[in-house]
A and B are shown apart, each in its own frame.
Chain A
Amino acid sequence: MHIPDGYLSPDVCAATGAVAAVAVGVSIYKLRDVLADRVVPLTGMMAAMIFAGQMVNFQLVVVPVSGHLIGGVLAGLILGPWAGCLAIAMVLVVQRFLFSDGGLFTLGANILHMAVIGSIGGYAVASVVRRFFRNPRVGTIVGAVVASWVTVVAASALFCLEFRLSHSPEDFKFGNLFALMVAIHSLIGVGEALITGAVVGYVLAQRPDLILTNAAEPRRGLISGVGRVTAAGTVLALCVGAFLAPFASQLPDGLDAVAEKHGFSELGRSAWSLFGDYNNLLPTGNWQSLSVSLAGVLGTLSVFLLAMGFGRAVSLGSRAVEAGRE
């Protein structure tokens, strides 16, 4: 699962590293208000728990291979998205230094895939899904299952994007890689979904307060409505891209089609206005498709960040109203 060094080019490593650093920084900043000196013991223990829990093997029935928990969605559901993101990021750092799992330069990409998409995105997806159910327990379990599958597939889709950006576009069959990676990861996702669902179900049966109070209290929930929908939308968009890409690969350039679909359906107008003239970014012949997709990624991220800021402003406003009433 961990991307080793050598897969991604230095610029992609730098970009993903920057995004991951921002995500970790934002997580710490968010947690300072809510958890204060509790951050270290709670996050550290959760990280240790996920790390230890990954030693529990799940035997596959058909092939003699065993899988294990990834844990992003689980951490997000128990601790809330920010602490969950931080915990998984720390798991990845320790795995890199002590087990040499994954690369040093690709650490940012790994954090982006498993901690940011897994925990923040997974939390967002789960809490959107949860609203469709009356019974909070059923909603939580279904949300956890759906979020686990979606985040694993979305992470593999994002990996394919990064891999594509790392290598020269000529004689590179993007659609094939996409189809293969997504096919493998949708199976892995089923495993992760079953494990997470079973663990969440067990915890709900034993100590429902650990999960349900988290959902009931908006302050511990921490992502506001708008940001939540945006995060879920971003993750879903990557997922949709994953399914469209194999079909789109019939076209001259599969990625461009996907980037356009992203551009029109998910990014909305602001991406076009921010990076309106795509070709200005990297104006050399072969790089054109690369700059389009890079602009797509940047656009997605900037919209995501804008929505987060907007959501924060809205939630601050509503909190002020509540305080006024009291």
Chain B
Amino acid sequence: MSEYLDRYGRAKSVCHRLPPRLKLLLSLAAITIGMLIPPAHWPAHGSLLCVLFAALSLARIPFRFVARRLAGFLLVVLMFGITVPLSQGFRGGWEMMAGIVFRGIESFLAGLWLVNVIPFDQLLSTLRHSGAPAILLAILAFMYRFVFVLWDELDKMRTARRARSFDRGGAIFRWRNAAQMIGMLLIRALGRSERVYGAMCARGWDGKLRTLDE
């Protein structure tokens, strides 16, 4: 899963050297501008897309990575967007859908640029310095820390299941199996959270997150 996340966040480029808060603001600005351009102004949307692609290549994010992520995103957004012309008739519907898809792509690329020029922990500390609520950031940091652990746990469970069932069985069997896997993951995660909480208390946890950059 690691390739999906902030894969190029720690690479080096002009964009990575910008101050963290400026990166956040730039990405927000790009999304806001995309929202403000009226749907039918295609040249404006096109030039915003050019700027975004230029920013992505300045950050030295490989085009294949962008294209693969964009393809996955487009699949979802088109499936979602097709409901508009289907329900609104094909005359005005297509234009409405095109506007939606363009804005979606702009927002997606701006987000992709942001996570790939700034590592997640730095993003969190930038947000903290900008005044976001500390408890939410602590939860996010905790979640980011343990989501990879749980993914590994899930992988182990999948391997064990494959070793036993050879991925055979009917639809009902598979569904029940998958649901049991989630249930098992849930039980293990809650148990782990108890243990981690105990360990955190033993190290003086008082509900406040402290980081090295303070």
Interface of A with B (CB < 8 Å)?
Answer: 3-7, 10, 24, 28, 36-49, 51-53, 55-59, 61, 69, 74, 78, 86, 90-91, 93-94, 96-100, 103-105, 167, 171-173, 176-177, 179-181, 184, 194-195, 198-203, 206-207, 210
Contacts and interface: CB of A to CB of B under 8 A. Distances in A.
B146 A203 contact: no
A211 B211 CA distance: 35
Q: Which interface residue of A40, A93, A104, A210 has the most chain B CB atoms within 10 A?
A: A40
Interface residues of B, number: 80
Contacts of B108: 4, 100
Interface string B13-57: 000000000000000100100110000000000000000000000
Contact of A167 (B86, B96, B178, B201): B96
A6 B196 contact: no
Given A56-B178, A198-B176, A39 B139 contact: yes
Interface string B137-149: 0111111111101
Given A61-B171, A97-B111, A199-B183, A6 B89 contact: no
Interface of B: 1, 4-6, 28, 31, 34-35, 69, 73, 76-77, 80, 83-84, 86-89, 92, 96, 99-104, 106-108, 111-112, 114-115, 120, 123, 133, 135-136, 138-147, 149-151, 153-154, 171, 174-176, 178-187, 189-190, 192-193, 196-197, 200-201, 205-207, 209
Contact of B142 (A7, A28, A45, A177): A45
Contacts of B123: 97
A180 B206 CA distance: 50
Contacts of A24: 136
B88 A99 contact: no
A195 B179 contact: yes
Nearest to B27: A104
A171 B103 CA distance: 22
Contacts of B209: 40
A51 B175 contact: no
Nearest to B34: A5
Looking at chain A's contact residues, the main secondary structure is: helix
Given A40-B142, A49-B190, A206-B183, 14 more contacts: A4-B100, A4-B108, A6-B107, A7-B100, A28-B133, A37-B206, A51-B147, A52-B153, A57-B178, A97-B111, A97-B115, A100-B112, A167-B96, A199-B180
A51 B143 contact: yes
Q: Which interface residue of A5, A43, A184 has the most chain B CB atoms within 10 A?
A: A5
Given A6-B102, A104-B28, A198-B175, A180 B83 contact: yes
25 contacts: A6-B34, A6-B103, A37-B201, A39-B139, A44-B141, A44-B143, A44-B145, A45-B190, A46-B189, A48-B189, A51-B150, A53-B182, A58-B175, A59-B175, A69-B182, A90-B139, A94-B140, A97-B120, A100-B108, A103-B107, A173-B89, A199-B180, A199-B183, A200-B183, A202-B180
Q: Which interface residue of A38, A78, A96, A97 has the most chain B CB atoms within 10 A?
A: A97
B87 A176 contact: yes
A52 B150 contact: yes
A49 B185 contact: yes
Q: Which interface residue of B142, B179, B201 has the most chain A CB atoms within 10 A?
A: B179
B35 to A, nearest CB: 6
Nearest to A97: B115
A104 B111 contact: yes
Contacts of B112: 100
Contact of A53 (B103, B140, B186): B186
A44 B175 contact: no
B80 to A, nearest CB: 7
